[in-house]
Amino acid sequence: MKTLSLQKKIVLSLGVLIILLSVAFTLKAQTPGLNLKGGSKLVYAMQTPSKTTDATVILNTIIPTISFKWVISDESYGKVIFSTESFNSGRKISSKLMQDEKGEIGFFWLSKKMLTELSAGKTSLYLNGSEKMDGVVSAGIEKLEIKVNGVMKSLEVIHAKSPTGNTGADIYVLNDANNPLIIKMRTSDGGFSLKEITE
């Protein structure tokens, strides 16, 4: 039985490493992130028990914090500016659009702290400003197809849900620490889902 020399073992190991890196790079290339900036538009379908309407989110800034205005198809509109504190460590998110002048409630984005905790397994938050969801857990990493600039794009998301199922909430958030965008949210009284993005 032949034994490989140390030099051949090193060459083989490097070859395997190059193959693994190329596979990892290819996988990453298949699931690119989003390049949101001022002027980007996100169209969501907003659901209530009685109807579904489109809401267009027009991004103003994403760094150092997020600010945007939203317009609903029946001409309702509002403005949201996340405070830096809320975007970094906030606990409140909402599936209902409303004017938020204090910048306390997360619409369409989780806080960075929530995403960090969720990536580690679980977190807690207040849904629609009042209902505390203790122990929201990650249901794993999934892929969702979203139309971006007219082309379908595969995005990597974290699927989060209540472990008890009492609230009936499901949340799918972009797996990006700098842009924890909520792609879909379903609650017992409605929710929203992202239809398309123009970056």
The tens digit of pLDDT for each residue in 79-89 reads 898 999 999 99
SS3 177: coil
**Per-residue model confidence as pLDDT tens digits over 84-104:** 999 999 999 988 888 887 888
| Strand 131-148, strand 122-127: pairing | antiparallel
SS3 12: helix
- pTM, whole model, 2 decimals? 0.80
Task: Encode 94-115: b = buried (16+ Cβ within 10 Å), e = exposed.
Answer: bbbbeebeebbbbbbbbbbbbb
| pLDDT reading at 32 higher than 70 | no
Mean pLDDT of all residues in 167-181: 88
Check: CB of residue 95 under 8 Å from CB of residue 87.
no
The tokens describing 61, both together, are 């800034």
| Strand 67-72, strand 106-107: pairing | unpaired
The tokens describing 161, both together, are 């849900």
**Per-residue model confidence as pLDDT tens digits over 102-159:** 888 888 999 999 999 999 889 988 988 778 888 888 888 999 999 999 999 999 999 9
What are the percentages of helix, strand and coil residues in the chain, rounded to 5?
20, 45, 35
